[in-house]
A and B are shown apart, each in its own frame.
Chain A
Amino acid sequence: MAEAKNYMYKSWWKIASVLLLLYTFTAGFLLEVPRLPALQETIRNLYFHVCMWFAMMILFTVSVVNAIRYLRSFNLKYDIYARHFAVAGIVFGLLGYTTGAIWASYTWADPNKPAINSFSSIARDPKLIGAAIALLVYFAYLILRDSIQDMDKRARISSVYNIFAYAMLFPAIWILPRILPSLHPGNEGNPALDVKNDISGNMRMVFYPAVIGWTLLGVWITTLKIRLSLLKEKKMIS
């Protein structure tokens, strides 16, 4: 098969993903972490919550790159890539929300009331709004893409929307939170990458491998889905 050289069918990075994640789980729970006020042990959630957003961002970026590749070559394969990377990105975004909600219920929520009562004040945070926008955009992308019957037209229109939406997402996720006031850490500089304020060097030893591990896991899931739909496509054509 001509595609045998394709990265999708290699196994070394899948093994790497599993190893990195195993490392994340063991080292993440065992290594020493700094005691910051209000965070305490919950800071270990950094290895999960923040990595979800990194993975989501990377997967969405890959999706856009594939949309651009589609518009340059009109090869339907890239449209399928773009769609599945977007879906995987959404999954990671939802997981990011869940881990974030658990984290917030121990750190931000008013301890005297049930955590659910603090929802409306927490959800107003600019970073959460940005994340919500990102998810809504890609839900809209899926709806738009699935509402069109014709295959070429579907690929073309949804790729155009994908690129346009991604370009408008930049200000939402990267600029807005730095303008508006926020409870969320990381307003001055890059969240979780700043050694002095946020995390100790010790934590970076786990954090960076964790980001890579989760991202690779996301890519793995996506490639499985891509291979499945490529097979379906082949059956349909022949």
Chain B
Amino acid sequence: MLEVRQQYSFYGILLYIGATIFVLFNAIDEPESRVWNGLFWVIQLFICINAVAKSFLQENKGRMLYFYSIASPSGFVLAKLLFNSLLMLLMSMLSLLLFTLFLGNPMQKAGQFIGLVLLGGWSLSLVFTFLAAIAAKAQQNAAIMAVLGFPIIIPQLLLLMRLSNAAFAPLLTIPLTTVLLLVVLDIMVVLFAVILFPFLWKD
């Protein structure tokens, strides 16, 4: 895939994560848990846009044509979704690690929060992969991706932030139905991507 061929872009995202979190570290020290939570998810959002946008926007036309000739559209989009999910899971873990290193560790239930971070990273990557496909077809830059994606991702981010606030407070339990709702939404995104991508694919 792209990241293996162009390794600089992979390292670019790593550096992006490091640099943003370092800036945050300089801007505020030891934020309280609610602020920590808000900052964390916003940074996740931007990391996701940067990491995932590349998957379609940096593919050149010739290579897309090559993929077109060897793969079916649903296979192609599933491969992209899978790859970006893995990439984003890795990046989520990395940014969580850096966050706890630099900005302190407000987690009361570390295991559950890590689970939430993985789920959130997965949701973000799925939605933005599909939007990257749309933005790439419209021959636009990553900015339009943000315009298209932010309103769509807000509900999921809201749910995630609420859930992770529960993970920070020792007394609150994480409601399972909300987690299930997020999983169902993710499955829905995959389904829609598979159904709709063939229309974007042909030129």
Q: Which A residues are within 8 Å of any B CB, using their own CB? A: 71, 126, 129-130, 133, 136-137, 140, 143-144, 147-148, 153, 156-157, 159-161, 163-165, 167-169, 171-172, 175-176, 179-180
Please state if B192 and A163 are interface contacts (CB–CB under 8 Å).
yes
Q: Size class of B's contact patch?
A: 20 to 34
Please state if B134 and A160 are interface contacts (CB–CB under 8 Å).
yes
Please state if A140 and B134 are interface contacts (CB–CB under 8 Å).
no
Q: How far is the CA of A161 from the CA of B148 in the complex (A)?
A: 9
Q: Which residue of A lies closest to B155 (CB)?
A: A172
Interface-located stretch among B13-21, B113-121, B136-144: B136-144
Q: How far is the CA of A137 from the CA of B127 in the complex (A)?
A: 14
Within 8 A of A (CB), among B164-201: 178, 181, 185, 188-189, 192, 196, 199-200
Within 8 A of A (CB), among B104-145: 127, 130, 134, 137-140, 144
Please state if B151 and A175 are interface contacts (CB–CB under 8 Å).
no
Please state if B155 and A144 are interface contacts (CB–CB under 8 Å).
no
Q: How far is the CA of A172 from the CA of B185 in the complex (A)?
A: 11
Residues of A within 8 A of B130 (CB): 164
**Choice from A136, A156, A169, A175 contacting B199 with Cβ under 8 Å:** A156
Please state if A137 and B199 are interface contacts (CB–CB under 8 Å).
no
Q: How far is the CA of A167 from the CA of B159 in the complex (A)?
A: 17
Q: Which B residues are within 8 Å of any A CB, using their own CB? A: 127, 130, 134, 137-140, 144, 147-148, 150-152, 154-155, 158-159, 162, 178, 181, 185, 188-189, 192, 196, 199-200, 203
Q: How far is the CA of A147 from the CA of B192 in the complex (A)?
A: 23
**Choice from A140, A157, A176 contacting B155 with Cβ under 8 Å:** A176
Shortest CB-to-CB span from B110 to chain A, Å, is 25
Residues of A within 8 A of B200 (CB): 156-157, 160
Q: How far is the CA of A41 from the CA of B152 in the complex (A)?
A: 37
Query: A136-B151, A147-B140, A171-B185 given as contacts; is B158 within 8 A of A163 (CB)?
Result: no
Q: How far is the CA of A153 from the CA of B199 in the complex (A)?
A: 10
Please state if A133 and B138 are interface contacts (CB–CB under 8 Å).
no
Residues of A within 8 A of B196 (CB): 160, 163-164
Residues of B within 8 A of A167 (CB): 188, 192
Please state if A144 and B188 are interface contacts (CB–CB under 8 Å).
no
Query: A160-B199, A160-B200, A163-B192 given as contacts; is B154 within 8 A of A144 (CB)?
Result: no
Q: How far is the CA of A122 from the CA of B109 in the complex (A)?
A: 32
Please state if A133 and B144 are interface contacts (CB–CB under 8 Å).
no
